[in-house]
Structure 1
């Protein structure tokens, strides 16, 4: 088969569409003929040499795919060849075929195009595990989403609104602010012109910036608030005001998804299927796709992501 390989750490031009060995479905795994994958910031970090795949994962980038079941390993039930599915991966999604534990495979939601479904697994599992399972956002509370125009942001806005929350997001342009309001955001704060702290307090904050926003995030939390840190785009080291955190009886929780054990991922995937998939099938939540790029041209897709002009997901199609 073909896959995107990283010749060496570097800029987008190190990505190469090359012949690689075919995967096989081991016990408990599903073999998928890939129709699309999606580009995530983690893929860029892996390309740069800062985020190696977990032990046992394929060396190719790609944390999510959609496609059709091509084969089943021993012990897998409930699926058959030809079924349209999407899946959460530890790596290897930029390829024509992947083998993935059955517990990380989801049916394509009714009413969602099989290609567009490639943009769902990573963001759906990230949002659901952080905002709802760990962050415990409930109806009537306020969620702040940093990066409202990102794949994670666009889905978090919709899911939180569908569950009865008030949603504020940060964006870098009026165009992105308008798109986020269309998706249900009650307020879009342009971080180039305004301070999001002034629009608080927030019961849950979903943050991908890390150190750069830590002090202001804690200031912006409501009493009993929960700060969920899922990225380090603004650095990894900062001082934390424990006194303020104590006075607010607040929580700071940093998480990642890729390196979790398969059993944990399976539990998150099961919760997503039970709680979020009905919202997709009803149309209350929908995947937001910025554009589709041929997988062989993954370098162009990476450059588009790094320019940060997109809203929603950038897909790679086979």
Structure 2
């Protein structure tokens, strides 16, 4: 098969299309003929040499795909050859074929194009597990999403809106903020010109955000704590703004607040299967009803993976970038 390889870490041109052996499904796995693969920040970090795949997993980038099951391993009972599916992966999605544990595979939601389904698994699982399963966002509460126009951000806005929460977002342009508003965001903060702490406090009568979904890490840590409401939960899922910062524990104590840092890729299979099952139960009906949708910014042939990565690094996109084998 053809796959995107990374012979040496580096810039976008480090992604090299090559002929590699076809993967064979192990017991409990299905093999998917890929229709589309989602591009994620984690792929960029892997390409740069900062985010190695877990031991024993595919060395190729790609954490989510859609496609058609073309082989099943021993013991697989949930899926059959020919099923149209999408899947959460530990790696290997930038390829014509990829294997996935059956518990991390989802049916393509009714009414959604097969290609577009590749834009769902990583963002839906990330948002549902962090915002709802971990931070327990409730109706009437306020969620602050940094990077509201990203794939994760656009999903978080929609799901929070659907449970009856209020949504504040940060983004770097009027165009991105308008896209967030169209999806249901109520408080729009241009981080280049405005202080998100002040804006969120003003919008909540001084209370602050009940849940913050943060992709920046160190750079925003102190201000995120300032922006939290009493009993607030800050969930850090990215480190684009660095890894080390001081925190005022007294500020957390006074607010009875929590800082939680999580990742999805390295979780045990059983944990991922639990998250995927929850997404199928809670998110898929909203997608099939047309209430929640993947936002797809662009599509690139697999051979143009370097261009897709450059597009992501330029940060002009709104929603997801897809690769098509």
Q: How far did 1:266 drift?
A: 0.4
Distance 2:56 2:188 in 1: 41
Q: CA deviation at 1:78?
A: 2.4
Matches within 5 A, 1:156-171: 156-171=156-171
How big is the shift at 1:79? 1.5
Equivalent residue for 1:40? 40
Q: Does 1:223 align with 2:230?
A: yes
Report the CA distance between 1:71 and its aligned residue.
1.0
What corresponds to 1:272 in structure 2? Answer: 279
Query: After superposition, what is the alpha-carbon deviation per residue over 1:16-47, rounded to whole angstroms, capped at 9, x for unaligned?
Result: 11000100111100110001101100000000
What is the CA distance between 1:106 and its match in structure 2?
0.3
The answer on whether the counterparts of 2:79 and 2:102 sit within 8 Å (CA) in structure 1 is no
Cα separation, 2, equivalents of 1:117 and 1:75 = 26
State the distance in 1 between where 2:25 and 2:44 align.
27
**Displacement after TM superposition at 1:188 (Å):** 1.2
Where do residues 262-301 of structure 1 align in structure 2 (5 Å cutoff)?
262-301=269-308
**In structure 1, the residue corresponding to 2:67 is in which secondary structure?**
strand
4+ aligned runs moved over 2 Å, structure 1: none
Tell me by how many angstroms 1:80 deviates.
1.2
Distance in 1 of aligned mates of 2:64 and 2:295: 15
Residue equivalent to 2:204:
none
Q: 1:1-318 maps to which residues of 2 (within 5 A)?
A: 1-198=1-198, 199-200=200-201, 201-318=208-325
CA–CA distance in structure 1, aligned partners of residues 188 and 295 of structure 2: 17
Per-residue deviation, 1:14: 1.1
How far apart in 2 are the matches of 1:44 and 1:79?
31
Q: Secondary structure at the match of 1:232?
A: coil
CA distance in 2, matches of 1:310, 1:243: 38
Shift of 1:263: 0.7
Whether the aligned pair in 1 keeps the contact of 2:286 and 2:292 (CA below 8 Å) is: yes
SS of the equivalent of 1:167 reads strand
Mapped partners of 2:183, 2:324: distance in 1 = 25
SS in 1 for 2:23: coil
Which residues of structure 2 form unaligned runs of 5+? Answer: 202-207
Structure 2 SS opposite 1:92: coil
Using the alignment, how far apart are the partners of 1:290 and 1:6 within structure 2? Answer: 25
1:84-109 alpha-carbon deviations (Å, 9 max, x no partner): 10000000000000111000000011
Pick which of 72-81 and 205-214 moved more: 72-81
- Kept in 1, the 8 Å contact 2:78–2:102? The answer is no
C-alpha RMSD over aligned residues: 0.6
Kept after mapping to 1: 8 A contact 2:11/2:48: yes
Distance in 1, matches of 2:28 and 2:78, equals: 12
Counterpart-to-counterpart distance in 2, 1:78 and 1:38:
23
State how far apart, in whole Å, the 2-side matches of 1:51 and 1:121 are.
20
Q: CA deviation at 1:74?
A: 1.0
- How many residue pairs align between the two structures? 318
Q: Deviations over 1:84-139 (max 9, x none)?
A: 10000000000000111000000011111110110110000000000000010010
- How far does residue 296 in structure 1 lie from its aligned partner after superposition? 1.0
Normalising by structure 1, what TM-score? 0.99
